[in-house]
Amino acid sequence: MTSRDVLISGAGLAGPALAHQLHRYGFRPTVVERAPALRDGGYKVDIRGAAADVLKRMGLYQAARSADTGMRHVTYVRRDGRQIAKLDADLLMGRRGDDLEVMRTDLTRILYDATAADVEYVFGDAIATMTDGPDGIDVTFTSGATRRFALVVGADGVHSATRRLAMGEVPLRYLGAHIAIFDVPNELGLDREEIFYTEPGRMVFAYSTGGAAPAKVGLVFGADEPVLGREVLADRFAGLGWQVPRFLDLLRGTDDVYFDALNQVELPRYSAGRVVMLGDAAHCPSPAAGQGTSMALVGAYLLAGELAAAAGDHRAAFDRYEARLRPYVDRNLAFGVKMAGDMVPGGRLSLAVRNYGMRTLKYHPLKRQIIERVTRPLHDAANAIELPSYPMAPVA
């Protein structure tokens, strides 16, 4: 073992992004992923502001750009399916300049392909125990293997097991809603478009990137307390209009459903000893923020750069990583709280006001400026960091 051997738990987005940069700085990363293979599926994710710069510095921006979803518009509909408003997708989702939207699975694949030849990936295994010592950290895996590393990075998502092992149980901040996402056949013929339908306390969306891609359906509902299983969905969405009865029928026939509470992770400190948290494991902003991917990329850039610059002093690197990242994270977490509240309007009045605003907006001569003003907080949060240049910055 040398001070350059780093174990990364999780081959999602943050893990491979870090491995890519660490390798280029001369580290020897190993990525352990609990799933038996790279996880496919998932939803679309945004790469905004500073994160687009990170991809450029990693030399992967063009690859991500070629995978852009090219979503064209977003339509809001009523209970009977009639249109309330149809708006430009990039404008409404706050994407500007070089911002991108890609399917999560495409970005994972791009990051994996860029690292697979140089980085050791271990699939179907996970960290079971970690013992932090003066010369390294001894790790046992659930497979029974044991190895020593200089550092361990927890990039294993919002419910991170690495975080639990290193820091104990950290309470998640529940944002008052749940989300379910699943694939359905594209019976609506959606072609790079998304449809939203909202009732008090509930929001339904469906989108497809077109071609042979299935449609993704999302069901979001408010609840005072976190609920445990997806069984509640049929009940919560009973009696709704638009395509919801058909979606519920399709839901009954599928096991592959992403279902979770909208939660945030707020850590008082991102590291403990030789273990440091990255991506959602450190600061999940909840899917409502639409910023988790960007935050994971920015965090990976900072952590790799600080580890390289600190020349073996991991404590100094962790301190600087935290100091640089935290103000940007705080801004995005605050944005996520606000968005979670807006996703499921509580009452009929607030919904009616919103729908009226949408309806009149489409005729408004200053439509673009108005939407830009509304999405400004997202744009600002996405750019709320100046990326440092590191001495051994990866070639762009």
Ligand X SMILES: Cc1cc2nc3c(=O)[nH]c(=O)nc-3n(C[C@H](O)[C@H](O)[C@H](O)COP(=O)(O)OP(=O)(O)OC[C@H]3O[C@@H](n4cnc5c(N)ncnc54)[C@H](O)[C@@H]3O)c2cc1C
Using CB under 6 A, list all residues that contact ligand X.
9-15, 32-35, 39, 43-46, 104, 126, 155-157, 161, 179, 181, 258, 279-281, 287, 290-294, 296
β-strand pairing of 193-199 with 73-77: parallel
Burial of 10 (0-12, 13-18, 19+ CB in 10 A): buried
Kindly list the distances between the CA atom of residue 220 and the CA atoms of 179, 182, 209, 375, in Å, as whole numbers in the listed order.
4, 12, 20, 21
Q: Are 40 and 62 contacting, i.e. CB atoms less than 8 angstroms apart?
A: no
Cβ-count burial of 301 within 10 angstroms (0-12 exposed, 13-18 middle, 19+ buried)? buried
Neighbours of 339 (CB within 10 A): 20
By beta-carbon proximity to ligand X, the closer residue of 43 and 241 is 43
- In angstroms, what is the minimal distance from the CB of 39 to ligand X? 5
69/198 with CB nearer ligand X: 69
Whichever of 157 and 345 has its CB closer to ligand X, that residue is 157
Residue closest to 6 by CA, chosen among 323, 280, 388, 306? 306
Coil, strand or helix at 302: helix
The contacts of residue 108 (CB under 8 Å, 6+ apart) are 11, 12, 13, 16, 38, 39, 42
Closer by beta carbon to ligand X, 60 or else 179: 179
Minimum distance, C-beta of residue 238 to ligand X, in the bound complex (Å): 22
Question: What span, in angstroms and rounded, lies between the C-alpha atoms of 206 and 318?
Answer: 41
CB of 356 to ligand X, least distance (A): 27
**In whole angstroms, how close is the CB of 218 to ligand X at the nearest point?**
7
Reduced to 3 states, what is the DSSP secondary structure of residue 204? Answer: strand
Dihedrals phi, psi of 203, to nearest 5 degrees: -140, 135
Question: How far, in Å, CA of 181 to CA of 207, rounded?
Answer: 11
Q: Among residues 46 and 199, whose Cβ is nearest to ligand X?
A: 46
**Do 21 and 58 meet the contact criterion of CB atoms below 8 Å apart?**
yes
- In the chain, the amino acid numbered 320 is R
Report, in Å, the least distance between residue 82 CB and ligand X: 27
Q: What is the DSSP letter of 287?
A: G
Choose between 128 and 316: whose C-beta lies nearer to ligand X. Answer: 128
Q: Which is nearer to ligand X, 137 or 155 (CB)?
A: 155
Residue closer to ligand X by CB (options 289, 371) is 289
CB of 375 to ligand X, least distance (A): 13
Least distance in Å: CB of 390 to ligand X? 21
Least Å distance, CB 228 to ligand X, is 17
